[in-house]
Chains A and B, each alone.
Chain A
Amino acid sequence: NAGVMQNPRHLVRRRGQEARLRCSPMKGHSHVYWYRQLPEEGLKFMVYLQKENIIDESGMPKERFSAEFPKEGPSILRIQQVVRGDSAAYFCASSPNRGREQYFGPGTRLTVT
């Protein structure tokens, strides 16, 4: 059973460009979570999605950030008009059900130049 997959693993964008981060959950998992992690810091919750639904986006900045988890295909975290402060590691995690353990993907390291 393949684990959570994320791509790309590393992404470099210039200020003002768009960044698209993809996450394919473990087989059988329909719950996806996105987290952001700055160097030497903990994981900050961004958004929780179930298939086609955003359940909790309380950790997501109101502007420039959006997330989706379509019926078919991976979950996408989209950052428009990136700024230097968006540079971080972005992890997604999947879970088989509400309140269950979350399994993390390898992360996407975003660098904004």
Chain B
Amino acid sequence: QQPVQSPQAVILREGEDAVINCSSSKALYSVHWYRQKHGEAPVFLMILLKGGEQKGHDKISASFNEKKQQSSLYLTASQLSYSGTYFCGTEGEGGSEKLVFGKGTKLTVNP
């Protein structure tokens, strides 16, 4: 079951904040976040394991609520380099290692 990402697209001005959500209809073991720029490979951002942990580096952080089977990615004080499509990949509770990716959220940061 493919996770649902929202919003599908968001446009920001440099310095603004954004939240991207990822929801699944099944119990999750982990959530992975990636950013992909046009024509390039996805780049790993962070992985969250069940246990309700929160992670972050620089001005990008994420949370994972295993009870609600959802994760949120927080981008604060966005920079131009944050532009791209953000994908969440979910791994089922059995820890199958197979990631099922959402359709992506396209983020555009303008000057």
Contact = CB atoms under 8 A, between A and B. Distances in A.
Chain B contact residues (Cβ within 8 angstroms of A): what range?
Answer: 20 to 34
B41 A102 contact: no
B98 A104 contact: no
B96 A102 contact: no
B47 A42 contact: no
A42 B41 contact: no
Central interface residue in B29, B46, B101, by most chain A CB within 10 Å = B101
Interface string B18-40: 00000000000110101000001
B90 to A, nearest CB: 11
A105 B96 CA distance: 22
B24 to A, nearest CB: 14
Interface of B: 2, 29-30, 32, 34, 40-44, 46-47, 87, 89, 91, 95-104
A107 interface: yes
Interface string A44-88: 110010000001101100000000000000000000000000000
Given A91-B41, A106-B40, A106-B41, A98 B95 contact: yes
7 contacts: A31-B97, A42-B101, A44-B101, A59-B98, A98-B97, A101-B47, A107-B41
B94 to A, nearest CB: 11
